Structure 1
Amino acid sequence: MSRRHRWIRGDWQIAQWLLPRVPGAGAPSQVNPISLLSRWKILDNLRRSLVPAALTVLLLLGWTTPVIAIVLLPTLLASCTDIFRRPIETLWRQHLAVAARSLVRRLEQVAFSLACLPYEALFSLDAIARTNIRMFITHKRLLEWYPSSSLVHDGDSNIFSLYRSMWIGPAIAIGMAAYFTRGRPGALLETAPILGLWFLSPLWVWWIGRPRVARAPALTASKISFLEKLSRKTWAFFETFATAEDHWLPPDNFQQNPAPVVSHRTSPTNIGLALLANLCAYDFGYISCGRLIAQTTNTFRTMEALERHRGHFYNWYDTQTLKPLLPLYISTVDSGNLAGHLLTLKNGLLALLDQPVLAPRFFEGVRDTVAVLMDAAGSAVMPHLTRLRTAVESACFSPPATPGSARTSLELLVAITTDVAANLDATANIEAKWWAHALDRQCRDALDDLTFSPGERATSIKRLAAQADQFAQMEYDFLFDKTSRLFAIGYNASERRRDSSYYDLLASEARLASFVAIAQGQVPQENWFALGRLLTTSAGDPVLLSWSGSMFEYLMPLLVMPTYENTLLDQTYKAAVKRQIKYGRERGVPWGISECGYNTIDAQLNYQYRAFGAPGLGLKRGLAEDLVIAPYASALA
């Protein structure tokens, strides 16, 4: 507010420049050299500073309806204009809902302006009076101002200090209420809304000025159980398909309908996510450290055998022949994803050196597997499963503190899981059998890990961390355009040609590639600042525009990138998720839209894949024409 006070004082200090003659440098006066347009701007600024006082006086004189009309008219006209400006790709129902919410926000702003009107009037008149006194009487402090660094804001959030500084509103409200009570009781009811706003204006300012406090997610026990089982089932994909048959590489996808098909191809992003999935599986207690080391070693051995170009892995490989798929192509996004995931893996592996032999969350991981097994077994639940669950819950409640007690607990679990697997083999469905054997492997691997030599374990971890760092070293100069300071979409190695299109938005999945390349010193920092920052708002929150408005663009880099509270990117992440949730409610569907497979198949009965997004977040046209929900997009959030 002090800055605005200074602006008003400045406007009135130059008011004399509206006159035909003005002070001159070497003479008492000279012909005014500024243009009529500039004079009009000065006059308009003076008019604007008098508006709050004029409206307050009109309200006090009883001209309530005209003042309300003056304040409301611009809002109503803007809302009417919004109604008739419907984007072609937006349905009328959605457009009217958005217009209605916009109208409500504008009406709230009008109400707030009316509430603060007496304070605005006093504030403006104070600035005008100070200026004229200093110019025509004291001739001092004409250049008074305070730098922002010297201002103290601690008291601004105190409701009592706000009532002291904004006393004029409550004072007028009390005075007018007393006057109407004694002289015109009927008018008190008519003016009560305005007087109430004035009396409560400091409270309203205090309320909207409170710092935002992020609410911690309040998850019930059932929701936590659901997420734990979901994470265990997700790991089962890698456990099932990233095997020796595919050279320990993750297939791109598996579709169950119309016929079970494994897509035996993979990309750098898939490989990076699979490596991190192994690490997460250890953190969640689904695999032992020995299994993590073995799985990572096998994948790295395959990666060493893959054909590369200047450190980059090609966009697609056949997971069974290990040949790159034609055309040989290097994707900037995929390379950046893999590099970022490898660097994250490196640090995650090195952190294992300080971990105990048995994963801290191992027994909780076993409990997750048991929960999934019991769901799959259904009516086949038997005393063995009940006994197993009891043993696991006991271990979770009181984890073993020594290697000896850990061995005892694991031997008990292995004995029980062996019996469970044997019994379910004869009575249960295929899914329950698979989970029973997965549980048995999980416990046996942990038991075998107790015999793993600590020195050998540390050596293997350091070797894998060094390999991860080596794989993350790639040359980016042939993908980077020095003129635009942007990354190309990719490079066609078959034709030795760089793409002519570039990633020019900060809100894109290529953000991680820029982050990694800059951190490695491969490209200048100017690349980050060259990325476009086109802004829009969603429910009043600022959000960076992406190309397709997908969760993948906003949140995929965030899997391994840091975020900082109250930054533009942090606000964008939250606003994008809120927008997706709101759009899901508008369309009456679950929320979560991103690039994914959808219900269109080719001649080989394979589902097709393309980008989808939420309208209002992307520059791409036609985002409202298709509606495809991707569960992984919800999980990303």
Structure 2
Amino acid sequence: MTMLSRRHLLAGGLAATGTAALAGGGVVTPPPATARSRPRPGYPLRRWAGDTWRSMVAMTDEGTGLTADNIEGPVTDPLRSGYTSPTNIGGYLWSTVVALELGLVGRPEGVHRIAQTLESLAGLRHHAPSGMFYNWYDEATGEVLTRWPTDGNRVDPFLSSVDNGWLAAGLMVVRRAEPAVAAQAGRLLRRMDFGAFYDPRPADHGDLGSGLLRGGFWDAEPAGASVPGTLPGTEHPVWFTPNYYDTTVSETRIASYIAIARGQVPPEHYYATWRVLPLDRDWQEQRPVGRTRRYRGLDVFEGAYTYRGLRVVPGWGGSMFEALMPDVFVPEARWAPRSWGVNHPLTVRAHREHGLEEAGYGYWGFSPASQPGGGYREYGVDAIGMNPDGYFSDVERTNADVGFGTTRPATNPTPDYGDGVVTPHASFLAMQHEPRQALANLQKMERELDVYGDGGFYDAVAVGSGTVARRYLSLDQAMVLGAIGNVAGHDVVRRAFSRGAVERTVRPLIAPERFGAGLVER
């Protein structure tokens, strides 16, 4: 069966015209996508998926089945990074499921690849009391890194809640999608306890009514800042990060969903995270507007930022990754039509209007990626990020500052933007909500910019200068394949991830919520 015959495009994207009023709140919500917003037959997703899969294969060590963080050079002779993470490994697992669904790899080879990776995972050194994996391994040997391969700097072995979340997501996808490896994946999942990261009374956050996930912990005292403690319910000493994951529009909610679905943290935790920062944080990007609503006994300020006639619940940096990566796994827009079903399309629209109209780049889609010219950087739409220092959309790091009400006057409300940096994987994430517009954006990138290679789209391009980050990152390529799998493969990633306990627990949890997002009435 061809990819085109499997095409399954999701409702929930933003139609070109018309609005449907929401009762109260002074905002309106966009209607679901119509056939006019969908790609026409003949779009090049199969070719893009096939080339992207080639890059994932090139990143993966033949002996261990562990996927390097990134490669440079052609996929026929790749220069691998020398390190990998739980996120990278999880991305390879769900990418292989997509490759099987789309017929990019035969079933014997695909199942063998998954089984090889799971066998290596089972043998990796991990933190036995929590069942969690360390953040950095050598992809060729499976050894935990204590020195960074590029400069020899010290690495204190760390266990990250969100990186283990992405690995668990990959394991959950293969467990449901491929019966031949379900038992292997299940054994690894059963030992992973996300309660290890949960603090029921996070310091300096006031009385939230429920707890938050920590960034992670070390099992030995690290060189930098840490908070000594013990794993919840045990006497095992650990050193926690000082930070918590306390915002809702964040890639970290994947770990929250998994922990809640597995009964390892209480469901109320979902409502303890902030939709916007509290109003007394007057250093944040702008003064939010909204109202307080009550869910599961917790008061939640349903705030939003105002941008170009939109009210958007912001992420920390305004990137597509923060907003839409968890949506690759959980059908948030469908399960929560008055919260994520409104905010996801508006986030995509904000990126599109920023790139095409406000900044005039001619292209859109901004997300953390390789930096053209070398290194790595976060990119986003500054105005829909809470970080006052911005995730910027151009090389020059142009900061749009609209002030904070009467407390902090605006210093740069209408900036002139420079050399914009677009990241193709952001448009693939957007394709789940604005398929026609995202497809056109990607086709234009391929046609007009030197941003496509033998492993698919390169990681980023500065569109003014034409400078390309000629590197493939396994996470970003896995996002491309995950999104294509949902758009063109009957929601294959979402179906595999969200069946069973996830749907039973997460769907009724998020369904009642109503964000402060929408279109401002004029």
Whole-angstrom CA distance in 1 between matches of 2:30 and 2:201: 42
How far residue 479 of structure 1 moved from its aligned partner, in angstroms, is 1.3
Are 2:58 and 2:78, in contact at CA under 8 Å, matched by a contact in 1?
Answer: no
**More helix by percentage:** 1
- 2:34 pairs, out of 215, 218, 224, with 215
Q: C-alpha offsets along residues 95-149 of structure 1, whole Å, 9 cap, x if unaligned?
A: xxxxxxxxxxxxxxxxxxxxxxxxxxxxxxxxxxxxxxxxxxxxxxxxxxxxxxx
Which residue is equivalent to 2:193? Answer: 475
Deviations along 1:165-184, whole A, 9 cap, x unmatched?
A: xxxxxxxxxxxxxxxxxxxx
Secondary structure of residue in 2 paired with 1:516:
helix
Deviation at 1:522, TM superposition (A): 0.4
Q: How many percent identity over aligned positions?
A: 32
How does 1:198-597 map onto structure 2 within 5 Å?
Answer: 212-216=31-35, 217-222=37-42, 224=43, 226-245=44-63, 247-256=64-73, 261-309=79-127, 310-325=130-145, 326-350=155-179, 461=180, 464-473=181-190, 474-484=192-202, 485-495=211-221, 496-534=238-276, 535-565=304-334, 566-585=337-356, 586-589=358-361, 590-597=363-370
Q: Residues 21-55 of structure 1, C-alpha deviation per residue, up to 9 Å, x if partnerless?
A: xxxxxxxxxxxxxxxxxxxxxxxxxxxxxxxxxxx
Alpha-carbon shift at residue 284 of structure 1 (Å): 0.5
List structure 1 segments (4+ residues) > 4 angstroms apart after TM superposition: 208-211
User: What is the alpha-carbon distance in structure 1 between the residues aligned to residue 99 and residue 310 of structure 2?
Assistant: 36
Q: 1:597 to 1:505 in 2, by over 3 A?
A: same
Using the TM superposition, give the Cα deviation of residue 538 of structure 1 relative to its aligned residue in structure 2, in angstroms: 3.7
Alpha-carbon separation, structure 2, partners of 1:549 and 1:211:
20
> Does the CA-based 8 Å contact 2:66-2:140 persist in structure 1?
no
Amino acid at match of 2:364: W
Cα separation, 2, equivalents of 1:305 and 1:618: 40
Report the 3-state secondary structure (helix = DSSP H, G, I; strand = E; otherwise coil) of the residue aligned with 1:512: helix
Equivalent residue in structure 2 for 1:636, among 429, 449, 452: 429
Going from structure 1 to structure 2, the CA distance change for 1:561 and 1:209 (only over 3 Å counts) comes to closer
Contact 2:53 2:95 in 1 (8 A): yes
- Cα pair distance change 1:466/1:567, threshold 3 Å: farther
Residues 341 and 540 from structure 1, CA distance in 2 versus in 1: closer, same or farther, beyond 3 angstroms?
Answer: farther
- 1:338–1:472 contact (8 Å) kept in structure 2: no
Instruction: State yes or no: 1:615 paired with 2:433.
Output: no
After TM superposition, the structure 1 = structure 2 runs for residues 84-233 of structure 1, keeping only pairs within 5 Å, are 212-216=31-35, 217-222=37-42, 224=43, 226-233=44-51
Counterpart AA for 1:313: F
Amino acid at match of 2:423: A
Secondary structure class of the residue paired with 1:537: strand
Tell me the TM-score normalised to structure 2 length.
0.56
- SS class of match (1:599): coil
**Relative to structure 2, which stretch is displaced further, 234-243 or 548-557?**
234-243
Q: CA deviation at 1:561?
A: 1.2
Q: Does the 8 A contact of 2:59 with 2:70 survive in 1?
A: no
SS at match of 1:549: coil
Q: How many residue pairs align between the two structures?
A: 311
Distance in 1 between residues matched to 2:133 and 2:174, nearest whole Å = 17
In the TM superposition, what is the alpha-carbon distance from 1:287 to its structure 2 partner? 1.3
Answer yes or no: is the 8 Å Cα contact 1:549–1:618 preserved in 2.
yes
Distance 1:288 1:622, change over 3 A: same
**Greater Rg by CA:** 1
Question: How far does residue 275 in structure 1 lie from its aligned partner after superposition?
Answer: 0.7
What is the identity, as a one-letter code, of the residue corresponding to 2:368? E
1:628 corresponds to which letter in structure 2? V
The separation in 1 between residues aligned to 2:170 and 2:110, in whole angstroms, is 16
Segments of 5+ residues of structure 1 without an aligned counterpart are 1-152, 154-207, 351-460, 601-606
SS at match of 1:304: helix
1:260 deviates by 6.4
Q: Are 1:543 and 1:568, in contact at CA under 8 Å, matched by a contact in 2?
A: no
Q: Is the 8 A contact 2:59 2:69 kept in 1?
A: no
Shift of residue 475 of structure 1?
A: 1.6
Contact 1:341 1:560 in 2 (8 A): no
CA contact (8 A) 2:306 2:312 kept: yes
- 1 or 2 for the larger relative contact order (CA 8 Å, sep ≥6)? 2
Q: What letter corresponds to residue 378 of structure 2 in structure 1?
A: A
Amino acid at match of 1:268: P
Q: Identify the structure with the greater strand proportion.
A: 2
CA contact (8 A) 1:340 1:472 kept: no
Letter matched to residue 182 of structure 2: A
Match of 1:490, as an amino acid?
G
The equivalent residue for 1:96 is none
CA RMSD in angstroms, aligned pairs only: 2.6
8 A contact 1:541–1:571 mirrored in 2: no
Amino acid aligned to 1:558: D
Distance 1:537 1:469, change over 3 A: farther
For 1:512, give the aligned amino acid.
I
How far has the Cα of 1:614 moved from its partner? 0.6
* SS of 2:331 mapped into structure 1: coil
Partner of 1:472, secondary structure, is helix
**How far apart are the structure 2 equivalents of 1:268 and 1:213?**
35
Shift of 1:469: 2.1
> What SS does structure 1 have at the residue aligned with 2:193?
coil
Quote the offset at 1:289 in angstroms: 1.4
**Counterpart for residue 407 of structure 2:** none
1:543 CA displacement? 2.0
Q: Distance in 2 between matches of 1:209 and 1:573?
A: 14
Change (3 A) 1:339 1:209: closer
Name the CA distance, whole Å, in 1 between partners of 2:257 and 2:196: 17
Structure 1-normalised TM-score?
0.46
Residues 111 and 178 in structure 2, CA contact (< 8 A), matched pair in contact too: no
Q: Paired residue for 1:77?
A: none
